Structure 1
Amino acid sequence: MRKTALTLAFFTALLTSQAQQDFHYSQFFASPITYNPANTGAFEDDIRGTLNYRSQYGSVAEPYKTFGLSVDAPIKISNDAYDQNFLGVGLTVVNDNAGTIDFNQLHIAGSAAYAIDLGGTEQNPHYISLGLQVAFIQRSMNFTNSTWETQWTGTNFNQSTSSGEAYVGDLTESNVSLGGGISWFNAFSDNARILAGAAVLNANTPSMELLGQQNDLLRKYTGHVSLAVAPETQSVIYYPNVFVMFQGPNRIIDVGSEIEFSLWERTEFTDHRNNLSMNLGAYYRVQDAIYFIGRVNYYDLSLGVSYDFTASQLSENNNGQGGVELVIGYRTTFNGPGTNRQKLIRSKGL
């Protein structure tokens, strides 16, 4: 069956749409520094690494694919035992790719955060953190494999025939994006804690131009609240999560929760996380999708899988098939001097 040739108008519409909304993850809580630089270093270990893969709308011929990597660490900046302030540093790399024209978006960001101790204790730390992000953003297209109406022979496309189009080969545009955020962490007790924050990304609205179309990246406003509740009478931990993102006319609101079941407790006389546990969760992305999450945590590693079921009008076109997402996480402790946040009980915490 004859394929409909791509047109310049389609490219322009695609660029305009993509300029209005950046990448997003269903397992947003697994990569906290991608949406708020103030979360950099905000965890109880010495280093954290995350790998993400997402395939969106797998029922279409060329699904939208996202690959991500993030690494961050807290650094104690004072030898004073009473000074629990610390610095967080991190790096994020995200690459999106879609379509036969290889529409590609590369996002490389460095982030730093300064966390201020609000008078917490070793077992119940309390911090507020301020963070900054500087990101290099590149967008590109490759028309090498594109086919056009003028190349249609009646039975197939002949790419050796001139398309008559002005755009051939690779097109690339890049710029720098700035952002900042704030987050608050409080361990009310050994059994309850909260991480909440907000950020503004693309604060400088960097300009991106491809195909002669001027597009400024719209400011992205994010907010998040994550709780960890471990009832003393139960052997499970509850993780309610809320994430919101507003970018121009677009919005994302994710609401849901997970339950962590302990399958193998850590050994009593070691300070290293060596337990085996499993998380199960369900989330709703308002007017978009319902998705389910499963994750296994073993020693310093975790493997999470989620699947989106489309809950919008788009389900008529993709048969409800949204996207699959895989996340591999790694967190470990070097047993060196650390902050109160790093000294949290290993089996509980955000």
Structure 2
Amino acid sequence: MRKTLFLLIAILGIGLGEVKAQDPQFSQFYAAPLYINPAFTGASGFTRLGINYRNQWPSLDASFVTFSFYADHYLEKYNSGVGFIVTTDREGVAGLQSTNAGLTYAYQLKVSDNLVFRPGIQANYFMRNANFSDLVFASQINPVTGFDPNLPGDPSVTGSNLNVNYLDLGVGGILYSRNLFLGASVQHLTEPNQSLLDGDSPLNQRVSIHGGYKIMLKEGALRRDLTYTRKERSITPIFQYKTQGEFSQLDAGFFLHLEPINLGLQYRGLPIKTFENFPNNEALIFSFGVTTSDFNFGYSYDYTLSELSNASGGAHEISISYLFQWGKPLRLPRDQWSIPCPKN
């Protein structure tokens, strides 16, 4: 189905001229560690592989599909984590696609017996491109017969080299104990020009502040023959506040962990602030996951609260991660502990 250029610009903000683009987002931000903050690199204490997949507004032609793959490893000898991440984001109207590949590094510093600080840095290479062949421009509309593909499109777009590549930097830090974590990150430090045409469209810095606190409940027990295996039960309130240019948003909610099951409920929005004269109430997020010692799976659904709720189809998201250690069992040293955020 043909779309108009106006729809593309209004919905996407893809960086034509002065239009500002926003980064992809993950509802399961806690399960996209290297995407949200390079300081999470190596934080598991082992070798970790993970993927994140998101399909936003699947019922619309202008859907957004995001896929991310990451891998990181903890170097115990150097108190450091190293990793890499590849993220692709595609929009359905004009085939706008953005791909970035990044290298991440974090250093682990034990502040006290109960507190750890991890600073991190990230270097990215971005590639963006778009295909306007399926768009309808105003100049291609015949007032009598309607759309005429033989009429010329917008000369400022037609025949242009619609791709751009650039380098980018990000930094972050996280402070955590056995129950509490608090982190912050800044991406796009250099605010590179991401315009697909000859204009100037800097990619605004993305700032994220995130944290949570794990509240331990009475342990459960699973009986096997004559023995009992202890099972963790906990509630973890979490939040993320992010801002990019004129756009700002808050994710807040909690997770109930009944080992190995995780159940979550979050709210996304910022009611005290409007965006483009629209109320900033975006979604309720329902999550379900399974966590074992080396494997994490999570699924979430965004129920849209805006006027798009009946037509958009919400958003579906899946996260998977796997931990392993070469030639050794998965066991952290006694003086080391993992960050107490939801695992899926």
Q: TM-score range by the shorter chain?
A: 0.7 to 0.9
Contact 1:202 1:220 in 2 (8 A): yes
Corresponding position: 1:47 with 2:47: yes
Distance 1:347 1:196 in 2: 10
Deviations 1:160-193 (A, max 9, x none): 6654634346511111111111111212xxxxx2
CA contact (8 A) 1:20 1:250 kept: no
Q: Please, what TM-score do these two structures have when normalized by structure 2?
A: 0.80
1:245 to 231, 242, 245: 242
Give 2:322's aligned residue.
330
- Percentage of pairs with the same residue: 26
Residues of 1 paired with 2:219 and 2:106: CA distance?
A: 36
**Alpha-carbon distance change, 69 to 96 in structure 1, aligned in 2, over 3 angstroms:** same
Instruction: Write the distance in 1 (CA, Å) between the matches of 2:299 and 2:218.
Output: 28
SS in 1 for 2:20: helix
The aligned counterpart of 1:68 is 68
The two structures, once aligned, show a CA RMSD in angstroms of 3.2
- Paired position in structure 1 for 2:96: 103
The 1:261–1:155 alpha-carbon spacing in structure 2 relative to 1, beyond 3 Å, is farther
Report the alpha carbon displacement of residue 13 of structure 1 after superposing the two structures with TM.
4.8
Alignment of 1:213-232 (within 5 A): 213-232=199-218
Secondary structure of the 2:30 match is helix
Match 1:279 to one of 243, 255, 262: 262
CA 74–349 in structure 1, closer or farther in 2 if over 3 Å, else same: farther
Unaligned runs of 5+ in 2: 221-230, 270-280
Pairwise CA distance, 1:343: 5.5
- List runs of 5+ in structure 1 lacking aligned partners: 79-85, 188-192, 263-276
Deviation, 1:240, is: 1.9
For 2:5, the equivalent position in structure 1 comes to: 6
| Alignment partner of 1:255 out of 230, 252, 257 | 252
* Letter paired with 1:113: A
Select which of 171, 174, 178 maps to 2:169: 178
Task: Please give the per-residue CA displacement for 1:205-249, whole angstroms capped at 9, x wherever unaligned.
Answer: 111221333110111111111333333455412222111111111
- TM-superposed CA distance for 1:301, in Å, is 2.2
Q: What amino acid sits opposite 1:325 in the alignment? A: E
1:333 partner letter: Q
Give the C-alpha shift of residue 141 in structure 1. Answer: 0.7
Structure 1: which amino acid aligns with 2:130? M
In 1, Cα distance between the equivalents of 2:298 and 2:8? 39
Count of residue pairs the alignment pairs up:
316
Alignment of 1:1-350 (within 5 A): 3=2, 5-6=4-5, 10=9, 13-15=13-15, 19-44=20-45, 46-77=46-77, 86-120=79-113, 126-149=115-138, 159=149, 162-163=152-153, 165-168=155-158, 171-187=162-178, 193-234=179-220, 235=231, 236-262=233-259, 277-286=260-269, 287-298=281-292, 300-315=294-309, 318-319=310-311, 321-334=313-326, 335=328, 340=333, 344=337
Q: Secondary structure at the match of 2:314?
A: strand
Letter aligned with residue 61 of structure 1: D
8 A contact 2:213–2:340 mirrored in 1: no
Amino acid at match of 1:36: N
Alpha-carbon distance, 1:63 to partner: 0.9
**Secondary structure of 1:29's match?**
helix
